[in-house]
Structures are given as structure tokens and as C-alpha cells.
Amino acid sequence: MIGYILRRLVSAVLVVIATSMIVFLLFTLGPSDPAQRLCSADRCTEERRALIHQSLGLDKPVVEQYLTWAKGVFVGRDVSYGPGFSVDCPAPCLGISYINKEPVFPTLMERFPATISIALGGFMYLIVGVIIGVLAARRRGTSTDRGLVASTLIISAIPYYLVALLAYLYLVLKWGIFSETSYVPLTEDPIGWAGALALPWLVLTVYFCVTYARFSRGSMIESLSEDYVRTARAMGVSESKVVAKHALRAAVVPVITIFGIDFATLLAGTVFTEAIFGINGIGRTALASITQGDLPIISATVLIGSVFIVIANLLVDIIYSFLDPRVRLS
């Protein structure tokens, strides 16, 4: 087990390094010129643009630029935008925002609690989806099964942003069932924190539980037809124990795979949720940065998102061995 985890850690680190190289190249060699964002149009002469390029190191070879950037991630660096103007970027330095001239990483970390609070609702749609899938599998072919499957297909056919927008328009603005959503720090007001996120959690649960319901149903039907399940029933094990202890344990493995990726994606930034419900998290910050052309924040968001996905894959692989005894890690 320890050897497997070490190998997966090494491969995860290599994937993150490769991703950082790709992200750096995409935003360094892209068509957008950082100098255009750092000097006004009336004062952005060729000489000033050249000074900015020199200060940022854009006149150096790409490999040297990447090594300078990568070194700053671990030890920090000074980012200069021209003669007499530089900003201290402490480690981990992912760049300086073109808009507010502040380090990117602390800015994103200030927004991270709001995003992770939304992502915690993912546990709700995982639980609800698995419960619906198990109920449908145990009543396969009945009207309950057909009704659950039909409802999941109808919900999944509607775009998520439309569901979230309609929920906000009707449940908040028109009917007033929920108050205006905003983020309240958990440490300041736990009740206010949960109340402010109740509607986003509800929308996420209703929309995304259908995916887990379908996968749970199919996986559960397959598990219930396995030999070890029939053996347990023949030995007189109660149906509830057969479902919970034997079938569900194996059926939930592929569902956990999907959830690991989905949860990492939520941590990387719930763009539609934050934008529609007015929550200032990583996703909303990234969306604003795209419209403003703030490349350091955009690239940092992409890199952080890739790190979350790599970590999620690593954790899912390790959890496999505990959920399914048929999985053996060599």
C-alpha cells in the first residue's frame, strides 16, 4: 500500500508540473500582450512597452521565464512592471494581478472559503443520488423505478445555469421563499452561513443528484446480480444487510470516482453558482478576470483547479481498496 501511494504521489507531482508548463506556455505565448494591460493607451509608447517587457522578463527565452516563475512558487520573487515599480510576491507566488497589482494567491485564498462552502453541498447530492439509485435498483421495472428514471432524465436535459437562474428568479425575487444569497463566514455566524447557502445547495442537490442516481442504479443492479450477493441471500442474510453490506459497498465504487472529479471541479470554481447567486468565490473571480483580461488570475485558477483534480484522483484510487475488497493494490 505504501509503495503504491508513493508511486501515485510521484505521478501526481509529474502531472502537476506538466500542467504548469502547459498553462504557462498558453498564457505566455498567447496573443494577449501584458504591456497593453499595464500602461494606458495614451502613454503606452513603444519604449514604455519595451521597458515593461524587460521588467517582466518577457524578452528572455521561454525556458528561463518558466524557471523564474516556478522558482517563485517555492521561494517567492519580486515582480517588476517598470523602472521604480515592483511588487513583492511571497511564496507561493502565482503572479501579480494586472488590475489591483496584488499577489494572486492570497487574493484567491480569500475567495476560497466561499467556494469550498458551496462545494460542501456536493456531499448532499451524492447522498441523495445514491439513495434514489438504490431505491430504483431494488424496485427495478416497477412504476417507482420508471418514475425515478424519467424524472432524472427530465432534470438532466435542462442546462444547470437555467435551473439556477430560474430558482433565483422565482424562489428569491418573486416568491421570497429564500432571502438574497450572500456568503457569511462560518466562523462568524454558522446559522447565517448555512442559511445564505441553502438555496445554492438545494439547486446543486436537485440538479446533480440525478447523475449519481443513474450511475448508482446501474451499478447497484449489477452488484445485486453478483454471485456473492446470491450466496449471502442463500445463507439467510437479511435483505437489508445484503444491500447495505455487500451490494452497496461494491456499487458505490464507480460513483465515488465521479464524485471525486465533480468535487474537485467545484473547488476549482463554481462559476455559474457564484455568478447567479452573487457569491464572491474563486469561480466569480475567474469570470471577472476573463472579462478584464487579468491573465495571472486566470492562469492561477486553471493551475489550482488542475491540482484539485489530481489530488481528487489520488484520493479516489486510495479509497478504492477500502470500499471494494476485490480491488488489490500491488
103 forms beta bridges with 96
Cell of 60: 528572455
pLDDT at 53 exceeding the cut of 80: no
**In angstroms, rounded to a whole number, what is the distance separating the alpha carbons of residues 146 and 142?**
6
pTM (global) more than 0.75: yes
pLDDT at 328 exceeding the cut of 60: no
**In angstroms, rounded to a whole number, what is the distance separating the alpha carbons of residues 204 and 128?**
11
**In angstroms, rounded to a whole number, what is the distance separating the alpha carbons of residues 326 and 328?**
6
Specify the CATH superfamily of domain 113-323: MetI-like (1.10.3720.10)
All structural domains of the chain with their residue ranges: 2-103, 113-323
185-204 pLDDT tens trace: 888 889 989 888 999 999 99
What is the DSSP secondary-structure string of 253-269?
A: HHHHHHHHHHHHHHHH-
Work out the average pLDDT over 276-291: 89
Check: CB of residue 85 under 8 Å from CB of residue 51: no
How far from 101 is each of 27, 95, 188, CA to CA, in Å?
A: 18, 10, 29
Work out the average pLDDT over 121-133: 87
